[in-house]
A and B are shown apart, each in its own frame.
Chain A
Amino acid sequence: MGRRLVLLLGVVVALGGCTTVDVARVPDAPQGRGVFVSTSDLPGPYKSLGVVQATRRGVLLFGAVDPAGTDLQADLDDQLLPQVRMMGGDGVINARFQQTQYTLPTRLLFAILFFIPLPSEVTITGEVVKLEAGAQPPGLAGSAAAQAR
């Protein structure tokens, strides 16, 4: 009885502190001239090419299998960046993102209830810009200023 209680408490403690983490890496920008994506603003000069929203929607099978690629990385690589390149942009500023996240207990539950798929969605929004002469992508201007000091 005591062991079961300890085990139960262990499970409760372990699951109580569940955290879900999702990350996305932006592609390397050689010489700072690739397509950049930033959540920050840009001092300019730049030309606005328009706002864009990239969404991917699907389901998680067995609580974990994501055939539609509804994560930040897939949305960035397969949806947003091709659109930015198609618009002729140098990058995206003021990006905002949101991805459906499920805790491990939820995923485990739906792995057991495998016949019920979990809805999943990821969205990235931002403003596509083209840099004009003298402008630098976010981050590089700060680095230059720091070096100058």
Chain B
Amino acid sequence: MRLLLLLPLVLATGCGATVRGSPLSSRPPEPQAGPAIYLSTGSAPRPYRTLGFAQVTGYGVTVAGFSDVGEAGLDGTIRGTLSQVAATMGGDGIINIEFIDENPPTEVERVSDLSETVSSAFSGKGQVKTRNRSVVVTGEVIQFLSAP
């Protein structure tokens, strides 16, 4: 009965997850700072031609609620893989970037996974709670028509 009463309280607190990534390109782009490939969630700062489109999905695992392993990070997918894809295609930038971390663990879920792992370890089972993660990023690969 007590657990039932506590349920709404647990549900109401710590149910949010915020995921951040490093800065993309500023506008106007700074020559020295920022990534070599122009990256933006918006449009291009000057004329361009479209080379194509790219979608990158980074997979990873959250181990025991606190350790993120793998490629399911915003930085790794946007500034890493997506930039490499653009460079491979001969592009100068990626515009209209959209991204989604499909399963970001909330604080409650992290604590739950950790406590489950700890209790499993103490009971001798030794099972580690893992949570699959994936980040999907899409964008339009472009090539600038003029020098900055």
Contacts and interface: CB of A to CB of B under 8 A. Distances in A.
Nearest to B45: A44
Contacts, number: 107
A42 B21 contact: no
A23 to B, nearest CB: 19
Interface stretch (B11-19, B85-93, B126-134): B11-19
B144 interface: no
Contact of A47 (B20, B26, B78): B26
A125 B100 contact: yes
Interface residues of A, number: 37
A45 interface: yes
Given A51-B21, A69-B15, A123 B41 contact: no
B70 to A, nearest CB: 17
Contacts of B55: none
A51 B99 contact: yes
Interface string A91-110: 00110100000000000000
Size class of the contact patch on chain B? 20 to 34
Contacts of A139: none
Interface in A35-92: 41-59, 61, 67-70, 75, 78-80, 83, 87
Interface of A: 41-59, 61, 67-70, 75, 78-80, 83, 87, 93-94, 96, 123, 125-127
Interface of B: 8, 11-12, 15-28, 34, 40-43, 45, 74, 78, 96-101, 104, 106, 109
16 contacts: A41-B41, A47-B26, A48-B25, A48-B26, A48-B34, A50-B20, A50-B22, A51-B21, A53-B101, A55-B16, A58-B15, A67-B8, A69-B15, A78-B16, A93-B42, A94-B41
